[in-house]
């Protein structure tokens, strides 16, 4: 392989076990309206070996500290059942021109008070994680969405969900 070919494909890979500052800011539970459209893919493997995916917004994710991630999922989602069986999941997303994949150890998050949403709340801790980018191409988005019709109601629901995640995360760290 020629040197010019090798330099044309320089993969930049960063391994981490704590959220980088830019990602922690993404999952800090603030300015949800400004972050609407962001989508992360939560992957898990069920007992039959099938990969299950839940697409999540910033209204379903909250990082209370540098090593954890709280997640709100619908109980009927196949990924929810798969995570309950295995205690593991991977979160994949594109942010700030990089592709992230975070391997999580996941457990139920106790202490969610006043919740009538029916959601299941989980606490994930980073097992291993990496970010990848290349110099010759800038990732501009991953899976994105646009709120339609009920934007205010969705944003209000997200605010309530993230507040519950924050309270539960605070209670679990005591």
Q: In terms of CATH architecture, what is 12-172?
A: Roll (2.30)
Q: Which tokens go with 111?
A: 């202490």
pLDDT of residue 25: 97
Domain layout of the chain by residue ranges: 12-172
pLDDT of residue 128: 97
Q: Nearest-CA neighbor of 104 among 41, 38, 37, 39?
A: 41
pLDDT of residue 59: 96
pTM: 0.85
Low-confidence ranges of the chain (pLDDT < 50): 1-6
Give me the sign of the Cα torsion angle 149, 33, 78, 171. negative
pLDDT of residue 42: 97
Spatial separation of the C-alpha atoms in residues 17 and 130, rounded to whole Å: 8
Quick: pLDDT tens for 59-101: 999 999 999 999 999 989 888 999 999 999 999 999 999 999 9
Decide: 166 and 64 in contact? Cβ < 8 Å.
yes
């Amino acid at each position: 392989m020629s040197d010019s070919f090798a330099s044309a494909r320089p993969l930049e890979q960063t391994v981490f076990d704590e959220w980088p500052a830019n990602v922690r800011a993404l999952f800090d539970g603030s300015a949800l309206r400004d972050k609407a459209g962001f989508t992360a893919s939560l992957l898990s493997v069920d007992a039959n070996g099938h990969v299950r995916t839940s697409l999540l917004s910033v209204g379903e994710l909250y990082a209370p500290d540098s090593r954890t991630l709280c997640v709100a999922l619908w109980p009927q989602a196949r990924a929810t059942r798969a995570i309950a069986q295995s205690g593991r999941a991977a979160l994949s997303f594109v942010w700030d021109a990089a592709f992230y994949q975070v391997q999580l150890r996941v457990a139920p998050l106790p202490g969610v008070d006043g919740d009538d949403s029916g959601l299941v709340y989980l606490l994930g801790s980073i097992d291993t994680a990496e970010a990848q980018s290349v110099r010759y191409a800038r990732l501009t988005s991953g899976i994105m969405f646009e709120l339609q019709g009920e934007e205010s109601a969705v944003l209000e629901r997200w605010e309530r969900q993230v507040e519950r995640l924050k309270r539960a995360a605070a209670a679990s760290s005591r």
